[in-house]
Chain A
Amino acid sequence: MDLMRFVAMRLGKGVIVLFAIAVLNFFLVRAAPGDPAQVMAGEAGAGDEVFLEQLRQQFGLDRPLYEQLWTYLSNYATFDLGFSYRQQQPVLDLILDRLPATLLLTGTAFFISLALGVVLGALAARRVGKWSDSAITTLALVFYATPLFWIALMSQIVFSLKLGWLPNVGFETIGSGYTGLERAFDIGRHLVMPALTLGLFFTAIYARMMRASMLEVAGADFVKTAYAKGLSPSVITRRHVARNAILPVVTLAGLQAGQLVGGAILTETVFAWPGIGRLMFEALAQRDYSVLLGVFFVSSAMVVLFNLVTDIIYRIVDPRIEAST
């Protein structure tokens, strides 16, 4: 089966997942205490009876449940994720406005943590039992156990407020009038702390996984073959062990994508990073459920996308898959 068909198939699967999430959202609104109209209106219009009546009409809330579901899903299918009465804007516009910042943050964190995790994990496995292995595994354990929001706060204190090396919050220096490269550099400086604090947790996960995977592969028969060939340990590690060990890490990275997006909510909150995570936090404070559910839907879509990317990488790297499908 060729790659195109595989991608098409996986996309189809992704659409089904998103459809299911839309259905979930629909029932969540109805699970909330109170009338769905009030939920959709949020705190902004909950007191206004005329307005609520108008909403009930619009969403057919007096109709049978399946008709309501149909209306809801049709809206989602046309990318209508509802309207924020609090912000007086369509939810989709609010999200699209914030999405690039989140993609930048999560994408950077993803690649940093994957690269760093793989390298550190491989290094630790290579020196298993030595002090550098202990240092890496201990560090990985520490970052794995540290609450994300707390480490974000602490690095804010240290690197921004005390040392003044990096900007405290935000996406870029407001009112600086930077353009082009200068602006990119400015954003980059703002990105360092959020991306690193978000990435550290995942670096820890990937490093642990990579180390375990390396050690497991090191016991494989084909590694014995490689030794019997008289290859040097560094060639064996690189060509035979690491290449095979990295595959499960890629799979794991795909599975962890959801957590990455979840972590972004905390990081963005702490660093006032104007992404959809921050939007979610604001919506929480304002009880703006339409926005909340919209962000939930879009972040799920992001995870589907991340999964797709890692699946494609996996297929390209592993020749065995071709035969088994």
Chain B
Amino acid sequence: MTHEPVYDQPDAGGFFGQYGGSFISETLAQATEALHTAYRRYSVDPTFIADFQEELADYVGRPSPVYYARRLSNELGGAQIFLKREDLNHTGAHKINNVIGQAMLARRMGKRRIIAETGAGQHGVATATICARYGLECVVYMGREDIARQHPNVQRMALLGATVVPVTSGSCTLKDAMNEAIRDWVTNVDNTFYLIGSVAGMHPYPTMVRDFQTVIGKECLNQMPALFKRLGLDRQHPDAVIACVGGGSNAIGIFHPYIEHAAVRLIGVEAAGLGLDTGQHAASIQRGSPGVLHGNRSLILQDDMGQVQQTHSISAGLDYPGVGPEHAWLHEIGRAEYVSATDEEALGAFHQLCRMEGIIPALEASHAVAYAMRLAVTLPRNRTILVNLSGRGDKDMETVMAQSGPGVQP
């Protein structure tokens, strides 16, 4: 039996190799230090951990099932495809896992006001939900462009009692919402907790968000062997684990527990938008270069002057010009592969999953499904692919209807 290498990242300064760290203005130094101290304390506190697990079970509905997509797999005729059903979580995406963890931390730190940024609105909805449940004030920053294309989620946040603040600076999307949330945090640092939705931001966020999301992969480690056994497959782990990557929180959540299992391919799917060579995409790993944005060093899409570039993706949740520093690191050391799917491929996968499995996936997760389908047909039938179906697609109805033309009837 081969000895699996131990994966122990990041270092004390929050660096994954050259990526990560804490590139923050002095005005935030004390707040991030306090957060780090609190996180270090509670992440090993048995009561905190037990409370977190109880919330995940009773409120989110975990564990989420792994579903064998039999019809889709048969239709493709290649590797067998399994879906980790994060879309079945309360609020409809993986985002809630992290939100509960951070909101519990905020309460223990005595912070009564929560701020968040959101792109697709899933993180905003999850945050508004938890704030309602815990009785906390909630302010969500959302780009004007995203408000227009994710309107149902804006309405959900309002119903839940959150204040949604439209962001009109820069490109009016997720990165600008994050700038605005950081500005709010610096200004109201005494009573406010910044609840970041992805593995982005300054240390310790990329690590903390990852830790709260690894419940996804840990459940898979338990669920897959039993599922394989039921299907008569003699194995413990899938051959490949696939997830979409914007900031990369759902991907790191399912990848992380598999990192030490070196035989398992980890594949992150970035948004190729209109195509990687069109300049209209959000593929920070494949087309980006090292840079500092939102408090960490990672791979970012930028011009020769070091200005952060605008991105394009059909899915608001992947429309981000950076990526979590740990993904940049996993890419650099070759432990994970990063590929992409275009808007068109994602839409195709969206429709196929709707029609063949009765599952309406989020457009973000449709990128992962699209690549899984592409990979499956190149592999024999005895190989297995686990896809993180990170969210459901109800929020994307308007986008899909507008894009799909007359062939699809509502």
Partners in one complex: no
Please report A residues at the B interface, Cβ cutoff 8 Å. Answer: none
